[in-house]
Amino acid sequence: MRRKDKEIVNIEDKMHVIDKCKVCRLGLSENNRPYIIPLNYGYSFKDDTLILFFHSALEGKKVDIIKHNNKACFEVDCDNQLIEGENACSYSYAFKSIIGFGEITILESKKEKSNGLNAIMKQQTGKETEYDFTEDQLRNVMIYKLDVEEFTGKQKLSK
């Protein structure tokens, strides 16, 4: 990271950003061409291991890319705010963001899929509710996880 003065170093602070954000931009690559998708997500963080969960239809461009190349990057950001300046070049932007890399696995078992969906629901609703999903619901949705290998945080606070 070039701007070490903006780096979020503390893991609790990084996790606060991941917990606060609602949309994750997932970066994939097909034939050396980038493909970025904004997605709702959920996560788990245990034993210093971050896992992000996503859901989608059973088919589509994203699914095709993942099946051929499961390497991915991600980005989340929040607390975005324009910082006005005296002239155009002195304007800035406040933010908090996390960027990371890992490998995606498509989840197959009902238990894994339910756990992933519950993580997504918790992230999006803020509720600790454990939902039950029907066989049809689990069969008709793709759940995948990103095992995060590394991630960094960066922020610029408003004045």
In this prediction, what percent of the chain has a pLDDT beyond 90? 90
Lowest mean pLDDT among 19-23, 27-31, 86-90: 86-90
4 by DSSP, 3-state: which?
helix
In tens, the pLDDT along 64-121 reads 999 999 999 999 999 999 999 999 998 998 999 999 999 999 999 999 999 999 999 9
Which CATH number among 1.10.1740.10, 3.30.1450.10, 2.30.110.10, 2.130.10.10 corresponds to the domain 4-153?
2.30.110.10
Q: Whole-model pTM? A: 0.93
Residue 14, pLDDT > 90, answer yes
Per-domain residue ranges of the chain: 4-153
22 by DSSP, 3-state: which?
coil
- pLDDT classification of 5: cutoffs 50, 70, 90: confident
| Structure token pair of residue 29 | 């690559």
User: Which residues have a Cβ under 8 Å from the Cβ of 71 and sit 6 or more positions away?
Assistant: 29, 101, 102, 103, 104
- pLDDT classification of 4: cutoffs 50, 70, 90: confident
Residue 1, pLDDT > 70, answer no
Please state, in angstroms and rounded to a whole number, the distance separating the CA atoms of residues 22 and 33.
26
